Amino acid sequence: MGLALPGLLLAQDQPRRGRKYTPPPPTAKITVTVIKATNGKPVENAAVVFHPMKEGKSEGNLELKSNEEGKVTIEVIPIGYTVRLQVIANGFETFGDDYPIPTDSKDIVVKLKRPDKQYSIYEKHADGQRGGNDSTPPPTTPPPSNPQ
């Protein structure tokens, strides 16, 4: 019996091979509420796309649909990341913004607007944009001279 004990000790003294276990980083609980900008009612079945970003680089994405209360909850984004959030719903403008996640919970309210009129360069605009109907003539350049 005394001989088995030293062999056991030798096996335990050898360095372990394989991977070291690193625990996953702590994550935050993010709740997104999607509502209509006009009346504050929830938007059901909106696509809410999460793009976790670490040091400016995307780490993939995850899409969830909002429930009948317009809510989506996710608990897999690590604390310290930034989330690029996109919200897409039929009949509304697409929403997008970046949100830093400094703590273990974040509540975000997204107010979706109805689409506006399409911007055209052929109409006059208050910002002085020149377009096809603008009364300001385009700058003229003299014709090239032909030396002979």
* CATH number for the domain harbouring residue 65: 2.60.40.10
Report yes or no on 3 lying in a domain. no
Partners of 2 in the beta sheet?
none
Q: Could you give the CA distance from residue 20 to residue 23 in angstroms, rounded to a whole number? A: 10
Report yes or no on 73 lying in a domain. yes
Q: Is the pTM of this model over 0.75?
A: no
Report yes or no on 33 lying in a domain. yes
Predicted pLDDT at 133: 44
**Closest to 42 in 3D by CA, of 107, 89, 94, 103:** 89
Report yes or no on 124 lying in a domain. no
- pLDDT > 60? residue 129: no
- pLDDT > 80? residue 27: yes
Q: Could you give the CA distance from residue 86 to residue 92 in angstroms, rounded to a whole number? A: 12
Average pLDDT score over residue span 49-66:
93
Q: Using alpha carbons only, what angle is made at residue 84 by residues 78 and 89, rounded to the nearest 5 degrees?
A: 125
**Closest to 89 in 3D by CA, of 117, 62, 116, 65:** 65
Q: Could you give the CA distance from residue 32 to residue 66 in angstroms, rounded to a whole number? A: 8
Using pLDDT thresholds of 50, 70 and 90, give the confidence band for residue 146: low
Predicted pLDDT at 144: 61
- pLDDT > 90? residue 121: no
The owner of tokens 């993939």 is 60
- pLDDT > 60? residue 117: yes
Predicted pLDDT at 124: 77
Average pLDDT score over residue span 66-87:
96
The domain containing residue 77 runs over which residues? 27-112
Report yes or no on 130 lying in a domain. no
Predicted pLDDT at 91: 93
By the 8 A CB rule, do 61 and 50 touch? yes
Report yes or no on 91 lying in a domain. yes
Average pLDDT score over residue span 5-13:
52
Report yes or no on 9 lying in a domain. no
Number of structural domains found in the chain: 1
**Closest to 93 in 3D by CA, of 116, 115, 117, 119:** 115
DSSP string, 77-101: EETT-EEEEEEE-TTS--EEEEEE-
- Give, in order, the Cα–Cα distances in Å from 112 to each of 109, 116, 123: 10, 12, 27
Using pLDDT thresholds of 50, 70 and 90, give the confidence band for residue 134: very low
